[in-house]
Structures are given as structure tokens and as C-alpha cells.
Copies of this chain bind each other. A is one copy, B any other.
Amino acid sequence: MGKSGFYQHDGDDIVFRGFNKISIDNKGRLAVPCRYRELISVQAENSLVITLNPLDRSLWLYPLPEWEVIEDKLASLSDFDKQSRRTKQMMRGYATDCQLDSQGRILIPKELRDYSELSKKVVIFGQGNKFEIWNEKAWEVQRVEWLETTGDDSVPTPESLQSLSL
């Protein structure tokens, strides 16, 4: 499905992949790459939820139906474990609804832009059920670091990776 297979849609599962460098204009708007728009329109009626990524200084962008699944999972986390509680608070607290406008753009709330230090140049890439949005420079730094450790025999590799055949 989709004119060039940039996503799959098997039953209820969406899989986003692919990478784009794009810019945020000085009004704080981000244009979702065109090839994803049709699916978002059909599957989520242009409704998206953007929130912070608790693991990296970046943002996560979910189609609304996918977010609802996440929200249920968060709701079931214990309130008595501090890390769980914080994760719940952060991800739900910063989750903001947004709609694709007529040009396929979304407005990213200032709070979230600040958190992830999004300025002019950003990268957005598919990551399964969601997109991840990074400051371009920050992303480059991570990529270089990762390349240096991966394939470097002196850095221990977790088992799950060692046994991975690609």
C-alpha cells in the first residue's frame, strides 16, 4: 500500500522508516515529508501527537491511534516507582495534539522545541510506529559516536547485538 512502499500497513500496524533533513521555519512549523502524508491522513485523520523522548533529547511524533496505545501502556505503570512515575508524567504531560495543516505541516510547541533544542535544521526519521525528530547537529554527534563504538572490538557489545545477523 502507498505509492512507493515508504510504509506498510498490515492490519493495524504501521511501520514508518526513512530519513529526511528538513527545516523548521521561524514560526516553528515542521513540514512532514510528503510521502507519509497520505497514510497519516487515512489512518489518523491528520491527527498526530507529539511528545518528548525520555531516552534522548529528541521528540516523538505519533499518529493518534498509535499514541492511544502508548497512553494505555503508560497508564498501567506503577506510581510508586519513581522512574516509572516520571516517565508517565513527562510523556503524558508534554503530549500535544496537532493537526497537519493544508500544506502538511505541524506546529511544534515552543516548550518541546526548547527541550530538544530544535532550531533551523532538524532531521526526522521513521521509527516503526512513530517518527523521531532531532536537532541536526545533535544527531550527527550521536551518529559519529555510534560509528566509532560499533565495530570497535574494544567496546563491549551487548549479547542481543552480537548474535544479530543482518
User: Which residues of A are interface residues toward B (Cβ below 8 A)?
Assistant: 4-6, 8, 15, 17-19, 21, 47, 49, 54-56, 60, 64, 68, 70-71, 73, 75, 77-81, 83-99, 109, 111, 125-128, 132, 142-143, 146-147, 149-151, 155, 157-158, 160-161, 164-166
Contacts and interface: CB of A to CB of B under 8 A. Distances in A.
A21 B111 contact: yes
B4 A98 contact: yes
Contacts of A87: 146, 150, 161, 164
A48 to B, nearest CB: 9
Contacts of A91: 166
29 contacts: A4-B98, A4-B99, A18-B93, A18-B94, A18-B96, A18-B97, A19-B95, A54-B150, A55-B150, A55-B151, A56-B151, A60-B166, A70-B166, A73-B164, A75-B128, A77-B161, A78-B158, A81-B160, A83-B158, A84-B158, A84-B160, A87-B164, A89-B127, A90-B146, A92-B127, A92-B128, A93-B126, A93-B127, A95-B126
